[in-house]
């Protein structure tokens, strides 16, 4: 069942990337782009979407479940051999 393990690893990698994206989006402050030397930039409030972190967590859980359940048993391997 390499197919299940490959899908699981792909989902885990996607989940990690989505969590990194969420950290980057939260940590970078949004500044006013119309700032000038006489008008200092003001940090504006912005809406933060938690969708990337939720999807990332779900991807990690589903990917982990796929990796955990994708086992090849020795009996199955022996039966497949001609």
Distance CA 7, CA 46 (A): 35
Q: Is residue 11 part of a domain?
A: yes
In a domain, 7, yes or no: yes
Q: Residue 53: inside a domain, yes or no?
A: yes
pLDDT confidence of residue 60: 94
In a domain, 37, yes or no: no
Using an 8 Å Cβ cutoff, are 12 and 66 in contact?
no
Whether the model pTM is above 0.85: no
Domain that holds residue 55: 2-30+49-80
Please identify every stretch of the chain with a pLDDT value under 50, giving residue numbers as ranges. none
Predicted pLDDT of residue 17: 96
Neighbouring C-alpha atoms within 13 Å toward the C-beta of 61? 6
**DSSP letters along the chain, please?**
-HHHHHHHHHHHHHHHHHHHHHHHHHHSPPB-TT--SSS---BPP-----HHHHHHHHHHHHHHHHHHH----HHHHHHH--
């Amino acid at each position: 069942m390499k197919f299940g393990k490959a899908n699981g690893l792909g989902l885990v990698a996607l989940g990690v990337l989505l969590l990194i994206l969420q950290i980057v989006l939260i940590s970078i402050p949004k500044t006013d782009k119309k700032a000038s030397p006489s008008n200092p930039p003001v940090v504006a409030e912005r809406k933060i979407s938690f969708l990337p972190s939720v999807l990332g967590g779900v991807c990690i859980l589903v990917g982990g479940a796929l990796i955990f359940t994708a086992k090849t048993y020795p009996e199955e391997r022996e039966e497949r051999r001609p």
